[in-house]
A and B are shown apart, each in its own frame.
Chain A
Amino acid sequence: MIKMILFRKFRVLILMVFLVACTMHIMIDLLPKLEKRAAGAESGDGGCQCAHHPGGEAQGWGKQRARSAAEAGWPNKHTLRILQDFSNEPSSNLTSHSLEKNTAAGDRAESLRRAGPSAGKAGEHKPLIGDASGGRTVPAHGVSRLSALFEQPLYKVDLPSLTDDDTLFNVNTDIRFYPRATGNQGWHNEEGNEEEDEFSPTGEAESYPNWLRFHIGINRYELYSRHSPVLDALLKDLVTQRITSVAMKSGGTQLKLIMTFQNYGQALFKPMKQTREQETPPDFFYFSDFERHNAEIAAFHLDRILDFRRVPPVAGRLVNMTREIRDVTRDKKLWRTFFISPANNVCFYGECSYYCSTEHALCGKPDQIEGSLAAFLPDLNLAKRKTWRNPWRRSYHKRKKAEWEVDQDYCDEVKQTPPYDRGTRLLDVMDMTIFDFLMGNMDRHHYETFEKFGNDTFIIHLDNGRGFGKHSHDELSILVPLSQCCRLRKSTYLRLQLLAKEEYKLSSLMEESLLRDKLTPILIQPHLQAMDRRLRLVLQVLAGCIEKEGHVNVVEEDLVDTAT
């Protein structure tokens, strides 16, 4: 009997011990989660944290992490804190799309703590990040106008020297968590959320993939440097890397796919919807126009020729719809829309709010489809971006007019409104205006900047698919910001003048530059010639401004002292 009671007591004891062990285990597991939740609450987004993380996987991952935490103690908690603050800046105006990702921030931060040793090695790669001079491959034949252009002194103006505040990532600290994610590779793939794959790395920190080197190179003044070897390598990657998974991009109006490559880089895929010769029908409004893949490609080249370097690298690629989209997507909604057409071609139409129906199905020949692949910018959790409403935004209404269309002195108001009242922002908007006018893009309703750089930074020229719609028409209303404000950077002004000269004619330079793309020809001749014509119109508007307000009041000197 006593034996029995003793045995029972013993059992209770064992049970208790087990219970305590369990509680501790659970607490350890939960801690990082709680931390995340707290971070989420700060950003006002406590709700949907775990939506993408089925419990089982999260737990398994937690255990693994707990072990390493026990080994390393908790000294890295500080880092974690900082990173979370960094990614949840309350002042940011994030899109709903980016909000979904807050959970991932915590996980990534965690992984950051794990991979200590390799982090130091990041320093070795510093030369790659900076301006690697002379690495560029120049076309062998000596008649290249493009290389002659880049030899011009105007294209050799140096950037101010960069401090840690001027680079998007601090190579010694922030970059650590890129290679860090090595361990979760398998976990990510099981997860089914393609957007997260971005941080799964190659495994060897020694050789950063080109997309990562591109991200590291972003600074306050440019997305990439003039002669960066990374650029060519990245463009090549976009065309050749194996596509491992595909997802539909949520939020946009027209169908876009997010493609993830073998090296975990990601790119935005816009499929071909129109032939090169097709023009936007005259009765279409700017907001019902199609997005064109060739416009995305051409915009990148134009931006580089203008020396803005504010468009992420874009390359054209022939994609096999069966092997590279249908067979590698885990998106049921996308997969379900594939069908074989009466002409025996593979077609799909996806799911989106504009032109995603059988009538607008995208069909291959029989399964090859053209598209543009735009390299992803760093994830919003690592490098937040701010979205700004373009002051010269259109009404997006069939009958209403925007304020700037009726008020001739509209720019005076804008000039007095932050952030346009100081710094270079207004000048950046002018650059963007000229860029858009040359392409005929009327759809610039918003623009983005990197939050880290505050207001003293360039504007990222994203989303150029609605350019190059009509070669026979110059939409002068796009130039209104310039004609109302009458301000321009001297460097831009001089470059525009240079590109109007016969030996550096914009159309020839564009033609040469676009020849490098796989899908060449990207633009038909009428579009190329339209750019020369539009460039002359820009210079006319500027001449009018100078005549009216004087050279000093129009042309902003920026060549002497580039650091403002």
Chain B
Amino acid sequence: GTTSGPDDGASKLERLFSHPLYNIETPGIGPEERLLLAEQLMEYYRRKVSRWERHMKIYSEAAAVSNITLTEHQVTYDPNASWVKFHLGINRYALYSRVDPAIPKLLKEMQGMTVVSADYTQDEKALKGACDCTQVVKPSGHHLKLALKMQNFAKVMFKPMRQQRDEETPEDFFYFVDFQRHNAEIAAFHLDRVLDFRRVPPVSGRLVNVTGEVLQVTHNEDLRGVFFISPANNTCFFAKCLYVCKTEYAVCGGPDLLEGSLSAYLPGLSIAPRISIPNPWIRSYTFSGQEEWEVNPFFCDTIKQTYPYNSGNRLLNIIDMSIFDFLIGNMDRHHYEIFTKFGDEGFLLHLDNARGFGKHSQDEMSILAPLSQCCIIKRSTLMRLRLLTQRDYRLSDVMRESLEGDPLQPILTEPHLLALDRRLQKVLRAVQRCIRRLGEDEVITRDFVKSTTRPQ
């Protein structure tokens, strides 16, 4: 990208993060405002590792009998592992803090650390092999993704590449049949950080060796059964239900290496329970049906009077989320999750963004409905959005720079990056329309405290 700004050697991204708007003081965080207690997590970790070692003994004996080539790796218990730090750092305001050194370290580890085990994800296992091919909207367990375990016990979700970078979603595809894109997962994490939301768990790209890092380390018979060698001599595997239903064929390495996104797991549900709440602006998930919000312009008035949106920050958080989704073009946000510990005042997790970045040539204005119907926005969010339109902090430039850090770069093609700028303008125009109608005081909600650094 060509930049014509005042080039003093410093990167735009660095300058953005040192801007006062990105240095707003968070209130002091007490133990009650943290998600996990250190002792609790360490105990959990220790238990898991010893159980793993017990299981491995049994496995290696069984594998020796049944003649399976299984690569064995030692798991090390490391109380200083970056994923432990990440989990301990989660508090009621965000998933991680702006300056937390554990996050870049975690990204590095995900990119390079030895994989010791691979398995299906929980939601796929929950289906128990049942495939209902008549379902138009496939449950999330149908999609092709795997849970990988690293040497220091860090767990990540692996979503393989399904589409080329320059491919767009076919125009006749509904949002619920769209592909899952690994690069969208990666880019969503970076955008979320650039917007200073910090509600997406860290995601990194990686070239995974599907033979050595999946097939030869999995202890799951079923998973081993879906691997095969293609006519072009590549190692391939498939999602069982999608294959049985003949909706999707398989993903193949070249011959073994396959691009994919790795996203860090959140703390287990047993120690940090979460609840999943339907998005009030959910879509119909049918070919023809429409939801109330699509036909009723006063839909938000009802929502504003409904618990939990009638008090606190919840509705403002929903609007943050809709802006985020509009920028990435994700129409598939049917649910959002919150940590139960933080109650209604907690932040919303922006999980599962693989259906974003499908069309760079189209801006789906309906995603912005919460903002345009409710006409309120957090002051801090608005200020940052305005900042990101300035030449020195232009969203596409900081995103481009941020994504350069990923091993699979380029993550987004230029048209997608430029679409971010265009969409940002549309968000601000929607806010402007609201202000013209209702006045600034009604629309912009004060939410933030003072900055820790003085403006230069």
Contact = CB atoms under 8 A, between A and B. Distances in A.
Among A342, A360, A399: residue with most chain B CB under 10 A: A342
A439 B287 CA distance: 38
Interface string B221-258: 00000001111101010000000011111101000000
A363 B173 CA distance: 10
Contacts of B252: 283
Interface residues of B, number: 24
Contact of B228 (A281, A284, A399): A399
Nearest to B232: A282
15 contacts: A282-B234, A283-B230, A284-B230, A284-B249, A286-B231, A340-B287, A342-B175, A345-B172, A355-B246, A356-B246, A357-B247, A358-B177, A359-B247, A398-B228, A398-B229
B231 A285 contact: yes
A282 to B, nearest CB: 4
Contacts of B229: 398-399
A357 B287 contact: no
B305 interface: no
Contacts of A363: 172
A355 B248 CA distance: 8
B232 A343 contact: no
Interface string A305-349: 000000000000000000000000000000000011111010100
A213 to B, nearest CB: 39
B133 interface: yes
Given A282-B230, A283-B234, A341-B171, A357 B133 contact: yes
A352 to B, nearest CB: 9
A354 B174 contact: no
A399 B136 CA distance: 31
A358 B174 contact: yes
Given A285-B231, A342-B172, A398-B228, A359 B177 contact: yes
B232 A283 contact: yes
B245 A357 contact: yes
A339 B250 CA distance: 27
* Chain A interface helix/strand/loop/mixed: loop
Given A282-B230, A354-B246, A355-B247, 13 more contacts: A281-B249, A283-B231, A283-B249, A283-B250, A284-B249, A340-B288, A342-B172, A355-B246, A357-B133, A358-B177, A361-B172, A363-B172, A398-B229
Interface string A177-214: 00000000000000000000000000000000000000
A353 interface: yes
A355 B288 CA distance: 22
Interface string A270-294: 0000000000011111101000000
Q: Pick the 3 closest A-B CB pairs, nearest first.
A: A339-B287, A341-B172, A283-B230
Nearest to B227: A398
Nearest to A253: B246
Contacts of A357: 133, 245-247
B31 to A, nearest CB: 48
A343 B172 contact: yes
B249 A288 contact: yes
Nearest to A351: B134
Interface residues of A, number: 26
A283 B253 CA distance: 10
B303 to A, nearest CB: 25
Interface in B206-225: none
Nearest to B169: A342
B230 A285 contact: yes
Contacts of B248: 359
Contacts of B230: 282-285
Contacts of A359: 173, 177, 247-248
Contacts of B174: 341-342, 358
Nearest to A359: B247
A358 B136 contact: yes
A340 B236 CA distance: 34
Contacts of A339: 287-288
Contact of B246 (A286, A343, A345, A353): A353
Contact of A360 (B232, B247, B250): B247
A11 B149 CA distance: 92
A283 to B, nearest CB: 4
Interface in A388-442: 398-399
Nearest to A342: B174
Contacts of B228: 398-399
Nearest to B245: A357
A453 to B, nearest CB: 37
Nearest to A399: B228
A347 B172 CA distance: 8
Among A281, A345, A353: residue with most chain B CB under 10 A: A281
Contacts of B246: 353-357
A415 to B, nearest CB: 29
Contacts of A286: 231
Contact of B171 (A285, A343, A356, A398): A343
Interface in B305-335: none
A24 B185 CA distance: 78
A441 to B, nearest CB: 15
A355 B250 CA distance: 13
A70 B277 CA distance: 76
Nearest to B179: A359
A451 B234 CA distance: 44
Contact of A342 (B133, B171, B231, B247): B171
Contacts of A285: 230-231
A297 to B, nearest CB: 24
Interface in B143-183: 171-175, 177
Contacts of A399: 228-229
Contacts of A347: 172
A416 B173 CA distance: 54
Nearest to A346: B172
Among B136, B172, B229, B248: residue with most chain A CB under 10 A: B172
Interface string B287-313: 110000000000000000000000000
A342 B366 CA distance: 13
Contact of A284 (B177, B231, B288): B231
